[in-house]
Structure 1
Amino acid sequence: MGKGNRDDMLSNLPDDILVNILDRLDVTYAVRTSILSRRWSRLSTKLSRLTISILDFLPRNGPIFEIDEVVRSNAAVVEATTSILAHRDSTRKTIHLLSMTFFLKDSDHISIGHAVAKTMATRKVEMAEFNIMTERDATQCDDDNLASYGKKFILFFDAFPDAFGGLTRLHLENLRFGESDITNVLIVCKRLKDLRLMNCDSGETTTLQVDHSQLSDLAIGDCLFAELLLNSVPKLTRLAFEGWISFHYPLSVGDAPLLEAVKLNNVALSWHKMVELSKFLCGTSVRDLKLGFKCEKIWVQPECLTKSLASVFRQLRFVNLDEIPEGYDLTWTLFILKAAPLLKELYITVYSYLELPLFFQRHAATIRPLPVQVSSIMQL
């Protein structure tokens, strides 16, 4: 501060620059600046990036799923959401990012849905995210919990089609869907670019069929489906499929010409079918491939290279074989080097015993651990 000048240099900056600075802070800190002065109070209503997360309201130390903290923190998210969206500057109609992380609990999510739906009806929102959590995590959820959370989510979804219709990212966990529920979600969420389902299911005989014109990033983890069928996803570039329990071939790809990064990770059980890479790589542009094994039984093996198969693997640039069973490392190294002439990097980790994920503990047969772990990386 200069002598006789009561203003600091920060306050002398133009409003647009100050708003840009505030947009880079957690919204809880940015809003607190409104108490500094009338000018700062107006600035907080002009924020264009609104990230409101229950994780910012939970205690820094201690269990995050303690019931009293969940109730208090979820209520804080509701209050912050309704207050911030209600007091936005009416001259600034565009919101570049609206990201909400909250628990699916009581009527809190209904209040959030009302506020977000009203905002989307009156303003342009470029990117909108729902990260919907459950008060019980995956290790605590039984079948009744999954069914209860699933019904609660569908009631929430049906009540606010406008809010869900404006989403570009949707992250869900610990839900049991009806047979057509996920299909309906994809139909309503026309702008969706990123979908993540963790510990969700709709029955072990159900095929999850995905048709979406805008979806670019899909992650399915520890979900109970008979098969994941990517019918038509013309903009899909990234796929992560981890922890399937299927008795059938787990993954089929139809129209996914831009798919370039694939991550498959599974603990192989006695009933798992062998995966043939050529079946789903055919017709894609996969350049980055990661296969995770975690056990002695391998669920995918090198194929006999014919001319037609060779073309399938020619796009590969980066291959990561994580926790591959002992004895397969040399076989896979030779196969990848032969199949992928444009390969830049090959990373291999040889398997050592790790505890099975919870998802498989209820289903897995006894798996004998291997005693050693060796990592190697080849720059090509």
Structure 2
Amino acid sequence: MQKGNKDDRLSALPDDILVNILDRLNVPQAARTSILSRRWSQLCAKLSRLIISALDFLPEDVSHTNISVDEVVKINAAAAEATESVLARRNPGEHTIHLLSTTFYLRDDVPIFIGNAVGHAMSTHLVENVEFSIRTGKDHVAEIESDDELVTWAREFMLFFDACPNVFGGLTSLDLGNLRFGESGISSVLTTCKRLKHLHLYSCDSGDGSTLQVEHANLSVLCIVNCRLAQVKLNWLPQLTQLAFDGWIDFQDPLVLGHVPLLEAVCLTNVGLSFNKMVKLSTFLSSTSVRDLKLGFCSEMVS
């Protein structure tokens, strides 16, 4: 600091530059700057990127891979409170929110609480992109005790989904894990989430050996990991550019490609046991213009 100048050089920067700096932080980090001065507290209400994750509220001595149920409840509640607090500070319609991203757990009433807060923000502000990453607390398949647990989590998700249809209708990105839906569950989600561009499914299906049929006007990125699916049928995806499919369980060709005119990047990964049917890439990729193809097979069951 120059002699006689009480403000440091950082505080002397214009608001737009400071907001750009704060946009690179997560919400808890950015919120800590509000204690510096009245000016800094007002800057938090101008952020264009709001990234709120329950995992950011974990104590420093707790690993995100080994969280107790009590800790999940605490950090989930903290994420809900932060979401409401941050959005309530903003003046309606004053500053565009380019990204509103929240990560939380299916616990108690927290999902609906967050859904209502996000829904209110979407109705009173210009929000370009809205992302939900929804966790069950069981981040690895090995941790799931039974199929019944997958069904229970899916029911919890659908209660949330049915309570907040307008919010899901405005989502642009959705990340789901460890859910066993009913026969039409995933299709219902896709039908409601009309603005969806990115969909990530981890250990999600409608029962062992089920087929996932996908139709969506705006989906551009689809990632399917460790879902116990026999086959994925991409019937009509005019905007799809990237596809990742990791793991399938049946003997038939894993993919059926319908209308996917923009598909250019495909990643396929599977164990490929000796009794599995040979995966013939030339068969289901022949009608595409794929330029980036990544394969991860632990056998020679691909041609």
Superimposed CA distance per residue, residues 330-359 of structure 1 (whole angstroms, 9 cap, x where no aligned partner): xxxxxxxxxxxxxxxxxxxxxxxxxxxxxx
Equivalent residue, structure 2, for 1:349: none
CA 1:263–1:60: 2 relative to 1, 3 Å: farther
| Aligned residue pair count | 299
Could you say which residue in structure 2 is the equivalent of 1:37?
37
SS at match of 2:103: strand
Aligned to 2:50: 50
Listed as ranges, the matches of 1:171-250 within 5 Å are: 171-250=175-254
Output the CA distance in 1 between the equivalents of 2:79 and 2:60.
Answer: 16
* Structure 1, gaps ≥5 residues long: 302-380
- Give 1:347's aligned residue: none
* Counterpart AA for 2:217: S
Q: C-alpha distance in 1, partners of 2:45/2:12?
A: 19
Alignment of 1:61-140 (within 5 A): 61-64=61-64, 65-137=67-139, 138-140=141-143
Please state whether the residue corresponding to 1:118 is helix, strand or coil. helix
State the shift of 1:114 in Å.
0.8
- Choose 195-204 or 262-271, whichever is displaced more: 262-271
- CA positional deviation for 1:99: 0.6
Flag the 1:207–1:89 CA change in 2: closer, same or farther, 3 A: same
Comparing 265-274 and 75-84, the one that deviates more:
265-274
Q: What is the rounded CA distance, in whole Å, between the counterparts of 2:279 and 2:149 in structure 1? A: 32
Q: How does 1:225-304 map to 2 (within 5 A)?
A: 225-294=229-298, 297-301=299-303
Distance, in Å, in 1 between the alignment partners of 2:220 and 2:252 is 26
% same residue: 59
1:4 and 1:168, CA in 2 relative to 1: closer, same or farther beyond 3 A?
A: same
Query: By how many angstroms is 1:27 displaced?
Result: 1.4
Kindly state the Cα deviation for residue 91 of structure 1 after the two structures are TM-superposed: 4.7
Partner of 1:2: 2
The answer for unaligned runs of 5 or more in structure 2 is: none
2:14 is matched with: 14
Cα separation, 1, equivalents of 2:132 and 2:93: 25
Query: Can you list the C-alpha shifts for 1:42-81, whole angstroms capped at 9, x where unaligned?
Result: 1111111000012211234444321221111111101100
TM-score, normalised via structure 1 length: 0.76
Give the counterpart letter for 1:39 in structure 2.
R
Q: Is the 8 A contact 2:274 2:301 kept in 1?
A: no
Is this contact kept in 2: 1:121–1:162, CA < 8 A? no
Tell me the distance in 2 between the aligned counterparts of 1:140 and 1:87: 39
Q: 1:131 to 1:202 in 2, by over 3 A?
A: same
Give the Å deviation of 1:201: 1.2
Change (3 A) 1:120 1:204: same
Kindly indicate whether the alpha-carbon contact (under 8 Å) linking 1:231 and 1:253 is maintained by their aligned counterparts in 2.
yes
1:279 CA drift (Å)? 2.1
What SS does the corresponding residue of 1:228 show, helix, strand or coil?
strand
Range with greater deviation from structure 2 (18-27 or 74-83): 18-27
Aligned-partner residue type, residue 237 of structure 1 = T
Q: Which one-letter code corresponds to 2:211 in the other structure?
A: T
Instruction: Confirm or deny: 8 A CA contact 2:50 2:100 kept in the other structure.
Output: yes
Give the equivalent residue in structure 1 for 2:169.
165
Decide whether the 8 Å contact of 1:23 with 1:48 is kept in 2.
yes
Structure 1 residue 169: Cα displacement = 0.8
